[in-house]
Structure 1
């Protein structure tokens, strides 16, 4: 019985150790600053993990696109067959005009001996004319659908070609990064220690880190969807100027607004620096730093769009694939026309402590 108890306790300790390793990774690395070599190897290892994940995502999208292209090609073949039938019908109707059948019908209309026969033939004539118009309209509609499908297929083919190019580029990046990491490990005085750090970091990132980073971005995106509420609390931020408006957002006001929207953001701080925004946060062994800037864009609608320029997780910089994925998945911008319907943004300027957005009337 004692042996079973000892075995059970050992299993519990092992499970607890694994949980601690996941939740509080790289304790030794954080207790003592990482060397330049360790920093470089861990960053490259994390980049390999993330680029591999991007490759898997693109491969899945590529497979979906190929399936869609196959289905669209089948649909296109069916439309082409229908179009040939419509074309033949329309051609037969048009030939009838030139071969005199309509003239014969018109002659019959003029040769009747009573008003009753006249209107009977006239009704018949109008039914034929309407049928002709229906056939021609159907032909034009089928032709428009066919051309639309052809354009969709061409766009999908271009997208697929671009995805294949992206995959080749990303795979080359992974090979180069892996070669560099292997070289560093081979030259290291303690390669096993570095491998253990890489495995620990990878496990933490895949099980906890990525999920938490996405949680932060989701919370930010949700808060920015309600940005019009910001003006309700800070009406003095919007002032008229030179036939337009100027929106001045102070960093302390933005922090208060975002923290009030989501408790997860209560441990984040947003700083307006020269030409960039810096957001930093720390929670339960996770440290996050996001740097970015705003641009004014008019497509698909006028917006102040946030771009992620730098993303640092626990002191390690994540690759561009992760930044672009988060930027695409989570909209951290805001839309002036949701605040004031008849204006559009023309400029966004970040200075120390403030973000200034210039708006002009758009009637």
Structure 2
């Protein structure tokens, strides 16, 4: 029922939008002005969702901070106890108490006494070592917890600043939208378009966009096997390896992985990648680029620079959310385990990755 409602809303949205040129003839908003309003309204919706994500993450971090603070207090109490015990052990060695104990063992008058005393000596020395080890463990745990608290504090501070920034963006955009609606000549129709677009996006649009990203992420997991099977896909010059992937080869590979890509294609341009397609009432265009990343592991990472849904550009918050949720990169070490990527570039129709032997 939810999906059908979303489809009906979108059809109504299209009908209203198609009527705009006629309205424009009578001095009202142009289609370009209306598209700008709709794009801003969609950005407000998405930035609002980002605010919700940030607020939720803030809540989690605050709980984590409280937990870590309690742990730190408990560890500080424990380490004071262990510190006193460890200090006593160290003093006993420093003052020679353990030496006198050893001399007692060595001064035993019979083998029986020697073995008994030696067992006692081993037990005492073992306990001493256990006390020292426990103190070191407590100290390491204390240091780790302190580091985690500092990191959590810094992340909370960053989250707070980001939250404030996004709220200011929403307020500014809302003011712009309100002003444009007021001067549009048909505020009711524009508001209706905004409401129906929001309904369609939240019920269908975002899920359809995620379907493409999920399918891409899944296909990229199998890209290393595909490259290995291609004749001439990998070349070598000395200790340098090069992977070359043509856009036609990549598109054929994607279509072999999922039928969703029958109407979707990648295009390699100079330092830019464009992936676009249309299915039913959905138009999607993704523009981005690859970079070499070494953390957490060596990879070719895809960055979304522009995302356009049904001719409406989505904000950076949506792009970053999709990047976090779906891994569109690939890992050269799954192709050749002894190499790592050092450079990646795109030119007309070709993606090229440079690899070097990893020592």
TM-score between the two structures when normalised by the length of structure 2: 0.92
The 3-state SS of whatever aligns with 1:235 is coil
Quick one: structure 1 residues 299 and 287, their matched pair in 2 at CA, closer, same or farther if it must change by over 3 Å?
Answer: same
Match of 1:330 among 308, 323, 326: 326
Do structure 1's residue 124 and structure 2's residue 123 form an aligned pair?
no
Which of the residues 81, 84, 99 maps onto 1:85? 81
- Answer whether contact 1:24 1:285 (CA < 8 A) is retained: no
Q: After superposing the two structures, state which structure 1 stretch, 157-166 or 89-98, moved more.
A: 89-98
Q: Distance in 1 between matches of 2:19 and 2:213?
A: 28
Segment of structure 1 superposing worse, 44-53 or 265-274: 265-274
Say which of 110, 117, 126 aligns to 1:114. 110
Query: Where does residue 348 of structure 1 map in the other structure?
Result: 344
Cα distance, 1:281 vs structure 2: 1.4
Q: CA deviation at 1:229?
A: 2.4
How has the CA–CA distance of structure 1 residues 99 and 360 changed in structure 2, closer, same or farther, with 3 Å as cutoff? Answer: closer
- In structure 1, the residue corresponding to 2:300 is in which secondary structure? strand
SS of 2:77's equivalent in the other structure is helix
Aligned partners of 2:178 and 2:271: how far apart in 1?
A: 38
Could you tell me how far apart the structure 2 residues matched to 1:54 and 1:330 are? 16
Match of 2:14 among 8, 13, 26: 26
Query: Partners in 1 of 2:349 and 2:18 — Cα distance?
Result: 31
CA contact (8 A) 1:22 1:208 kept: no
**Are the aligned partners of 1:105 and 1:125 in contact in 2 as well (CA < 8 Å)?**
yes
Tell whether the 8 Å contact from 2:216 to 2:328 is kept in structure 1 after alignment. yes
Look up the match of 2:135.
Answer: 139
User: CA separation in 2, counterparts of 1:299 and 1:284?
Assistant: 39
Structure 1 residues 274-313: aligned runs within 5 Å: 274-313=270-309
CA gap 1:271/1:320 in 2 versus in 1, 3 angstroms: same
Aligned partner (choices 311, 315, 319) of residue 319 of structure 1: 315
- The match for 1:64 is 60
**Structure 1 residue 310: Cα displacement:** 0.2
Q: Mark the CA change 1:16 to 1:126 in structure 2 (over 3 Å): closer, same or farther.
A: closer
Deviates more, 1:114-123 or 1:347-356: 114-123
Displacement after TM superposition at 1:345 (Å)? 1.7
List alignment gaps of at least 5 residues for structure 1.
1-11
Per-residue deviation, residues 41-86 of structure 1 (Å, max 9, x unmatched): 1111010000000000110011011111111111221111211111
**Pick from 177, 181, 184: which aligns with 2:177?**
181
Aligned residues of 2:332 and 2:340 also touching (Cα < 8 A):
yes
SS at the partner of 2:84?
helix
Deviation at 1:235, TM superposition (A): 2.4
Pair 348,360 (structure 1): closer, same or farther in 2 beyond 3 Å: same
Q: Is the 8 A contact 2:44 2:173 kept in 1?
A: yes
Runs of 4+ off more than 4 Å: 15-19, 30-34
Contact 2:228-2:234 at 8 Å conserved across structures: no
RMSD of Structure 2 on Structure 1 (CA): 2.0
- Look up the SS of the partner of 2:232 in the other structure: helix
Query: How many pairs are equivalent?
Result: 350
Aligned partner of 2:186 in structure 1 is 190
Displacement of 1:243 in angstroms is: 3.3
In 2, the alpha carbon distance for the partners of 1:16 and 1:278 equals 31
Counterpart position of 2:26: none
Deviations 1:212-249 (A, max 9, x none): 10111000000001111222442222122343222111
Q: 1:286 & 1:68 partners in 2: Cα distance?
A: 41
Is 1:163 the counterpart of 2:159? The answer is: yes
Post-superposition Cα deviations, 1:198-220, rounded to whole Å, max 9, x if no partner, equal 00110010100011101110000
Residue-by-residue CA offset, 1:291-334 (whole Å, 9 max, x unaligned): 00111122222211111000000000000000111111111111
State how far apart, in whole Å, the 2-side matches of 1:213 and 1:347 are: 29
1:252 matches 2:248: yes
